[in-house]
Amino acid sequence: MINMTPYELVVLLAAGFFYILSAGAYAFTYTYGRMRSMNKVKLFSLLFVALMLYCAYLMISSPVFTSFWKTLLTVATFTYLIVPRAMWWVVVRIHNAEREKAVNRTYR
């Protein structure tokens, strides 16, 4: 059994909390920046990426988790980095296809 001090426990819990919070904030700010074509907001979203990566590092480097959980955290972190950009690509493609269908229907 691994002994943790109360301080280490609080740091680990805070890292988990801010990990999830920063992942959501990254997705939101990235999407908002893309919707409004605001490059500064997209750049600001990278701060949340940095916070998420730092929190992931804190959790992965903790001796509390087994290699399974460390691998899961690593995969989840890389997934969180990809999902907002991938979903933006999917949504744009869907809306472009719908727009083309609507244009084709109006010219028939």
Per-residue pLDDT tens over the stretch 24-54? 999 999 999 999 999 999 999 999 999 999 9
In this structure, is the dihedral angle defined by the CA atoms of residues 87, 89, 93 and 96, taken in order, positive or negative?
A: positive
Can you point out the beta strands (E) in the chain? none
Distance CA 11, CA 15 (A): 6
pLDDT band at residue 1 using 50, 70 and 90 as cut-offs? low
Q: Domain residue spans in the chain? A: 6-106
Q: Does the pTM of the predicted model rise above 0.85?
A: no
